[in-house]
C-alpha cells in the first residue's frame, strides 16, 4: 500500500503565473452562500468564453462517455493569496488507542469474573448479570467490534501473509479466551461474548432438538471456520464480520438484510437456544474443542452426581450427557468394529473432500475481486447493464490505465491460490466429517451426568436442578426430600458415588 504524506499542503506551494480564475458567464452574480457576494467580486473575462466552450464541450463529452476519471488533473493553478490564509483540510483523529487497552483489560477482568462465577460461586444469576454487563459494554458501548470471533481472520491472515502483522491487542483478544477455555471451559461464552450474551438473554422457551440434528448442524461451525480462514488468508474478505448477525443491533444501524438475519436468529433463539453459538460460531467451535482438555470444567453437581436424572433435560443447548449404559459383549464388539471402520474412513473423507474442494475452487474464487474483475473485462459486452457494481468496476479499471493482461495474470494467480486453498478447505471439511463420525461411535466411560465440554457454554442453568446443589445452598436439608426412591438410574450397580471424575 502506498502511504501518502498526511500533510500534503506542506509540500505544495502555489505555482507562479497567471491564474485563470473566474470562469466567465453571462449571468450576473445573484449572490450565493458566499459572504459579501456583491457582483464586483468576480470578473467577467469575455475572451476566455471561447476557451471555456473549447474546454467544456470535449470535457462534457468525456464525462458522458464511460471512463470518466475522478483523480483529475490540475487545470487551474491554485492562486497565490496575498492575505487569505489557506485553511487546512480537517483531519479528525480516530479513537484513542487507549480504548484497546481498556478493552483488553475489561476482557481479562470479565473472563476471570466469569470463571469465578461459573466454577466457584456456581451462580447463574451472577453469570446473567455479567452477561448483561458484557452485552452493554462490548456490545452496545464498544459496538461489537472488539471481538475474538473476528480476530480469527486477522490471525489467519497474519499467519499466512508475510506483509500482515497484528497488533498485540488482537493477539490477546484471540488467545485469552482460548487459554481460559483450556483450563476452565468456555468462560468466554458464558458471560463475556456479547453475541453469546444477547442470545442467552433471548433463550426464554428453549426446546430440545433431536440429537442427530444437533450433531449434524454441529459440523457447520467447523466448515464456517475453514471458509473464514480461507478467505482471510487469501486476503479476499472477512466473511465472519461481513455476516455477523448481531453487530447491526449493537450499532443500532446497519444493512437491512443483516438486521433481518439478526432478528430471525434472535426469534429462533427464543425456542432454539443460542443458534449462532451452536451452529455457526467458529470461535465457539475452537473454544469447545479446547474445553475438552479443561481440568476445571463446569460441573452440574457441586460435589458428586447421585444420578437422580433431575438435570437430564435442564440444558437448553443439549449439552448434558447421561452416563452411557453398559454394553453387552456383542454390542461392544459391534461398536468396536464400527469404530475401526470409521477410523479407516477418515482418510477417505479427507481425499474425497479435497477432490470436491478442488473442483469447487472457481466457485469459491468468485468472491475475489481480481477474479470477478477479470471476468467482467473479458466479457465487457455481456455485463448485465443492471449490474452497477460491475460497470463501475470496469470503469475504475479503465481509469487506472492498466492493461487487461495484467488483470488477467493477477486473476490467474488468484485462481491458483484458490485451487490450493479450496483443496485444503475440502480436505478440512472431510476431516471434520470423518472425525465427527468417529466421535459418534466412541464412548467415554463415566458414571455421572456431566456437561459435554464441547457444547456446554457454562451458562449455569443446570445448577439449580441438582438436589446436591440445593443442599449446598441450604434450600433443602437432604437429597432424599426431592429424590423419590427409584428415580436413580437403575442399571448401574449400587456403589458409593465415585468422586474420582471430579
Partner 1 sequence: MANSDTHVSRRDVLRDGLQMAALLGVGGLGGYLLGKQGRRDLLLWQIDPYKCIACGNCATHCVLQDSAVKCVNSFPMCGYCDLCTGYFPPEPAALNTAAENQLCPTGAIVRRAVEEPYYEYTIDEDLCIACGKCVVGCAAFGNASLYLQVRHDRCLNCHECSIAVACPSQAFVRVPASQPYLFKHRIRPA
Residues 6+ apart with CB under 8 A from 192: 107, 110, 111, 114, 130, 131, 134, 138, 177
Contact 451, 319 (CB under 8 A): yes
Among 35, 65, 98, 490, binds partner 1 (CB under 8 A): 35
Q: Does 364 bind ligand SF4 (CB under 6 A)?
A: no
Stretch that binds partner 1, among 35-43, 205-213, 320-328, 409-417 (CB under 8 A): 35-43
Q: Does 144 bind ligand SF4 (CB under 6 A)?
A: no
Give the integer Cα–Cα distance in Å for 461 and 156.
Answer: 34
Instruction: Tell me the CA distances in angstroms from 497 to 301, 324, 471, one per residue in order.
Output: 12, 16, 17
Give the integer Cα–Cα distance in Å for 125 and 134.
Answer: 14
Among 276, 279, 376, 428, binds ligand SF4 (CB under 6 A): 276
Q: Does 122 bind ligand SF4 (CB under 6 A)?
A: no
Give the nearer residue to partner 1 in terms of CB position, either 179 or 488: 179
Give the integer Cα–Cα distance in Å for 368 and 388.
Answer: 17
Burial level of 121, CB count in 10 A (0-12/13-18/19+)?
middle
Element (H, E) at 330: helix 329-359
Q: Does 123 bind partner 1 (CB under 8 A)?
A: no
462, interface contact from ligand SF4, partner 1, none, CB < 5-8 Å by kind: ligand SF4
182, interface contact from ligand SF4, partner 1, none, CB < 5-8 Å by kind: partner 1
Beta bridge partners of 321: 450
Q: For residues 299-328, which are near partner 1 according to CB under 8 A?
A: none
101, interface contact from partner 1, ligand SF4, none, CB < 5-8 Å by kind: none
Stretch that binds partner 1, among 215-223, 267-275, 378-386, 395-403 (CB under 8 A): 395-403
CA angle 276, 277, 279 (to 5 degrees): 65
Q: Does 283 bind ligand SF4 (CB under 6 A)?
A: yes
Element (H, E) at 169: helix 168-184
Q: Does 369 bind partner 1 (CB under 8 A)?
A: yes
Quote the least distance from Cβ 25 to partner 1, whole Å. 5
Contact 466, 263 (CB under 8 A): no
Contact 284, 240 (CB under 8 A): no
Give the nearer residue to ligand SF4 in terms of CB position, either 411 or 458: 458
In eight-state DSSP terms, residue 85 is P
Give the nearer residue to ligand SF4 in terms of CB position, either 196 or 467: 196
127, interface contact from ligand SF4, partner 1, none, CB < 5-8 Å by kind: none
The residue ranges that bind ligand SF4 (CB under 6 A) are 149, 188-189, 193, 195-196, 276-277, 281, 283-284, 298, 314-315, 317, 319-320, 451, 456-462
Amino acid at each position: 500500500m502506498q502511504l501518502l504524506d498526511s500533510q500534503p499542503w506542506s509540500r505544495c506551494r502555489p505555482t507562479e503565473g497567471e491564474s485563470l480564475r473566474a470562469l466567465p458567464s453571462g449571468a450576473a452574480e445573484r449572490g450565493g452562500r458566499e459572504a459579501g457576494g456583491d457582483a464586483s467580486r468576480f470578473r467577467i473575462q469575455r475572451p476566455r468564453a471561447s476557451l471555456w466552450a473549447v474546454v467544456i464541450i470535449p470535457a462534457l463529452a468525456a464525462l458522458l462517455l464511460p471512463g470518466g476519471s475522478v483523480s483529475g488533473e490540475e487545470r487551474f493553478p491554485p492562486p497565490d493569496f496575498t492575505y487569505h490564509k489557506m485553511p487546512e483540510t480537517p483531519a479528525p483523529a480516530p479513537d484513542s488507542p487507549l480504548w484497546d487497552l481498556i478493552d483488553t483489560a475489561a476482557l481479562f477482568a470479565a473472563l476471570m469474573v466469569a470463571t469465578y462465577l461459573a466454577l466457584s460461586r456456581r451462580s447463574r444469576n451472577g453469570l446473567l448479570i455479567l452477561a448483561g454487563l458484557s452485552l452493554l459494554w462490548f456490545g452496545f458501548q464498544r459496538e461489537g467490534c472488539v471481538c475474538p470471533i473476528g480476530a480469527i481472520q486477522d490471525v489467519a491472515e497474519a499467519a499466512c501473509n508475510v506483509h500482515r502483522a497484528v497488533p498485540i491487542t488482537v493477539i490477546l483478544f484471540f488467545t485469552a479466551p482460548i487459554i481460559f477455555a483450556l483450563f476452565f471451559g468456555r468462560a468466554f461464552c458464558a458471560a463475556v461474548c456479547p453475541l453469546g450474551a444477547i442470545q442467552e438473554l433471548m433463550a426464554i422457551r428453549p426446546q430440545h432438538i433431536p440429537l442427530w440434528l444437533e450433531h449434524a448442524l454441529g459440523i457447520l461451525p467447523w466448515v464456517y471456520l475453514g471458509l473464514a480462514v480461507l478467505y482471510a488468508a487469501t486476503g479476499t474478505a472477512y466473511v465472519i464480520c461481513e455476516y455477523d448477525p448481531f453487530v447491526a443491533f449493537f450499532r443500532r444501524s446497519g444493512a437491512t438484510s443483516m438486521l433481518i438475519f439478526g432478528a430471525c436468529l434472535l426469534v429462533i433463539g427464543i425456542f432454539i437456544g443460542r443458534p449462532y453459538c451452536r451452529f455457526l460460531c467458529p470461535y465457539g467451535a475452537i473454544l469447545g474443542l479446547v474445553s475438552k482438555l479443561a481440568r476445571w470444567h463446569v460441573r452440574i453437581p457441586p460435589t458428586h452426581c447421585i444420578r437422580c436424572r433431575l438435570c437430564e433435560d435442564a440444558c437448553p443447548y443439549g449439552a448434558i450427557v447421561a452416563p452411557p449404559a453398559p454394553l453387552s459383549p456383542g454390542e461392544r464388539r459391534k461398536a468396536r468394529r464400527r469404530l475401526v471402520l470409521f477410523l479407516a474412513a477418515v482418510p477417505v473423507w479427507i481425499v474425497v473432500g479435497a477432490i470436491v474442494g478442488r473442483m469447487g475452487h472457481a466457485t469459491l474464487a468468485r468472491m475475489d475481486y481480481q477474479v470477478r474483475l477479470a471476468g467482467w473485462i473479458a466479457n465487457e459486452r455481456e455485463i448485465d447493464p443492471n449490474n452497477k457494481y460491475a460497470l463501475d468496476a470496469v470503469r475504475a479499471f479503465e481509469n487506472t490505465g492498466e492493461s487487461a493482461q495484467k488483470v488477467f495474470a493477477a486473476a490467474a494467480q488468484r485462481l491458483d491460490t484458490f485451487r490450493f486453498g479450496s483443496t485444503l478447505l475440502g480436505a478440512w471439511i472431510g476431516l471434520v466429517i470423518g472425525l465427527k463420525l468417529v466421535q459418534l461411535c466412541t464412548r467415554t466411560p463415566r458414571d455421572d451426568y456431566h456437561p459435554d465440554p464441547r457444547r456446554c457454554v457454562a451458562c449455569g442453568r443446570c445448577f439449580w436442578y441438582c438436589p446436591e446443589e440445593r443442599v449446598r445452598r441450604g434450600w433443602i436439608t437432604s437429597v432424599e426430600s426431592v429424590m423419590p426412591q427409584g428415580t436413580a438410574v437403575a442399571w448401574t450397580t449400587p456403589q458409593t458415588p465415585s468422586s474420582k471424575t471430579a
